[in-house]
Amino acid sequence: ILDTISQCAHLAEGAEVTLEANPASADALHLSKFQKAGVNRLSIGVQSLDNAELKLLGRNHTTCDALRTLEEAKKLFPGRTSIDLIFGLPGQTVASWLQGLEKALALCDDHVSLYQLTLERGTSLFKQVHQGFLPITNVDIISEMYECARHVLQNSGFHQYEVSNFSKNGAFSTHNLSYWQGSQYIGIGPGAHGR
């Protein structure tokens, strides 16, 4: 796919080519192939480093999978590996969120994306929350999670360059900036979109 794209679209020298990867399917061989195909930045959907939270989210990877993928990615994409984390899960406390964030910061590269949980209609988690089997997280707790995370990241040398994204050592994502600034970008793959 990337070979075909490079034949059809001119990419400027040094253009960011980001691949969003899931830890369950991003082993060392696949990551190496992605790099050889022209990918120069990786965004890993870790979401959490707690197996119970991953199960709650319906993720098909474990903490061990995420750790393995992060280590391999940092070798192949040093300074260009991002980690995605989700906060505001049912039953999650500010303390447990910050503990997970600290664990992630000890492992991550130079970019972190924080996303508040969105309950998607039709998912098991949505049903469990709306049927009262799981508690919905209080909005004040969610706000505190976000503000505390911002503080922790800033104290760890990260710069917040848009609402969900933090980088250090100049490792901001041009895709993220383009998205928020309404600039053009190309999205390819299931669920991807461009502008």
Could you report the per-residue pLDDT of 115-158, keeping only the tens digit for each? 999 999 999 999 999 999 999 999 999 999 999 999 999 999 99
Better-scored residue on pLDDT, 195 or 86: 86
Amino acid present at 78? P
Classify residue 191: in a domain, yes or no: no
- Structural domain boundaries, residue 145: 1-7+14-177
Looking at the predicted structure, is the pLDDT value of residue 86 above 90? yes
CATH number at 132 reads: 3.30.750.200
58-66 contacts at long range (C-beta below 8 A, 24 or more positions apart): 58/123, 58/124, 58/125, 59/22, 59/24, 60/22, 60/24, 61/22, 61/23, 61/24, 65/23, 65/24, 66/23
The secondary structure element, H or E, covering residue 19 is strand 18-21
Classify residue 192: in a domain, yes or no: no
* Number of domains composing the chain: 1
- Tell me the pTM: 0.89
Q: What pLDDT, in 10s, does the model give residues 87-98?
A: 999 999 999 999
Classify residue 144: in a domain, yes or no: yes
Classify residue 28: in a domain, yes or no: yes
